[in-house]
């Protein structure tokens, strides 16, 4: 019988092992995650996340789910946009990332309206039709069963709700792609080695970006899960794409 395998960076592993290995990796990087994000993206991830907020139709009183929310950057942006009148649930498979995010929010004096739930994106433990907006930033490529995660998000969204998927994607411009490859495969593992003392995890992060499906494929997967009017917006030449869809 053929074994059910999936990618883990450039390696092939058993599908049932991926969530555990990805979670272990994020336990290892959690303490340095925010610093490394700023260094690796030269601060650009803040702009990408603001752009995602900008197109997500979130307003006062909205109920938002931040899937694979990690240290809660998106969640805090949503809360600020709602002016304290609304609720954001940060869910993530990894407890260390959630703890980092909770501590960061508390340090910033933010606690009202924020909830944390440890959960696998493939089977979100919420009632159907619960959220006005569901966002997943830089999480989808880490999930073992992406169609299951998209379907679970679809189920938890209210009719009329918006889904936002932010992910590293495929760079269309050849010159930019060559520079980006050089930067990703040479510099990022070095930063991981010297700053986070964890070269292997940052090598995985780079490899997982290359293995992630391109913009058109992710759009087709979202449509297959049931989302309507799916479109995407390339940022920084396609280094990142924001996908948006609706439950209608
Ligand atoms: N959304 C945050 C951000 O934009 O900074 C964190 C992104 S981080 C690159 C990816 C996150 O996905 C990690 O916190 C990791 O624990 C989480 N993750 C990985 N696999 C997951 C899964 N199957 N279900 C839920 N979260 C998952």
Tens digit of each residue's pLDDT (9 = 90 or more) over 109-150: 999 999 999 999 999 999 999 999 999 999 999 999 999 999
Mean pLDDT of 170-192: 92
Report the atom number in ligand 1 closest to the C-alpha of 70: 14
Binning pLDDT at 50, 70 and 90, where does residue 179 land? very high
**Burial of residue 135 (number of CB atoms within 10 Å: 0-12, 13-18, 19+):** buried
Backbone angles phi, psi at 171, to 5 degrees: -80, 125
Mean pLDDT of 16-32: 93
What share of the chain has pLDDT > 90, as a percent?
95
Q: Global pTM?
A: 0.96
Q: In this predicted structure, what is the pLDDT of residue 4?
A: 87
Q: In this predicted structure, what is the pLDDT of residue 2?
A: 58
- Three-state SS at 170: coil
Q: Tell me how far the alpha carbon of residue 22 lies from the centroid of ligand 1, in angstroms.
A: 9
- Ligand 1: residue of 18, 74, 142, 152 to mutate (most ligand atoms within 8 A of CB) is 142
Q: Residues 78-87: pLDDT tens digits?
A: 999 999 899 9
Q: Tell me how far the alpha carbon of residue 1 lies from the centroid of ligand 1, in angstroms.
A: 32
Q: In this predicted structure, what is the pLDDT of residue 1?
A: 54
Binning pLDDT at 50, 70 and 90, where does residue 172 land? confident
Q: Residues 47-104: pLDDT tens digits?
A: 999 999 999 999 999 999 999 999 999 999 999 999 989 999 999 999 999 999 999 9
Whether residue 236 has pLDDT greater than 80: yes
Contact (CB, 8 A) for 188 and 198: no
Beta-bridge partners for 114 = 88
3-state helix, strand and coil shares in percent for the chain, rounded to the nearest 5: 50, 25, 25
Q: Tell me how far the alpha carbon of residue 108 lies from the centroid of ligand 1, in angstroms.
A: 22
Whether ligand 1 lies within 6 angstroms of the CB of 53 is answered as no
Q: In this predicted structure, what is the pLDDT of residue 208?
A: 96
Report the atom number in ligand 1 closest to the C-alpha of 143: 23
């Amino acid at each position: 019988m053929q074994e059910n395998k999936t990618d883990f960076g450039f390696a092939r592993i058993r599908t049932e092992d991926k969530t555990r290995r990805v979670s272990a990796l994020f336990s290892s990087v959690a303490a340095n995650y925010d610093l490394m994000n700023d260094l690796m993206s030269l601060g650009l991830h803040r702009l990408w996340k603001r752009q995602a907020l900008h197109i997500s139709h979130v307003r006062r009183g909205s109920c938002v789910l931040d899937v694979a929310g990690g240290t809660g950057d998106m969640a805090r942006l949503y809360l600020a946009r709602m002016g304290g009148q609304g609720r954001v649930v940060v869910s993530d498979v990894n407890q260390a990332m959630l703890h980092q995010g909770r501590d960061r929010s508390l340090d910033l004096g933010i606690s009202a309206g924020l909830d944390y739930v440890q959960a696998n994106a493939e089977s979100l433990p919420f009632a159907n039709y619960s959220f006005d907006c569901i966002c997943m930033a830089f999480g989808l490529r880490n999930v073992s069963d992406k169609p299951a995660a998209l379907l679970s998000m679809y189920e938890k969204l209210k009719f009329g709700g918006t889904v936002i998927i932010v992910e590293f994607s495929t760079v269309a411009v050849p010159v930019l792609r060559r520079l980006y490859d050089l930067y990703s495969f040479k510099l990022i593992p070095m930063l991981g080695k010297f700053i986070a003392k964890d070269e292997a995890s940052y090598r995985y992060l780079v490899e997982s970006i290359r293995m992630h499906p391109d913009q058109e494929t992710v759009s087709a997967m979202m449509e297959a899960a049931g989302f309507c009017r799916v479109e995407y917006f390339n940022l920084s030449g396609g280094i990142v794409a924001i996908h948006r869809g609706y439950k209608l």
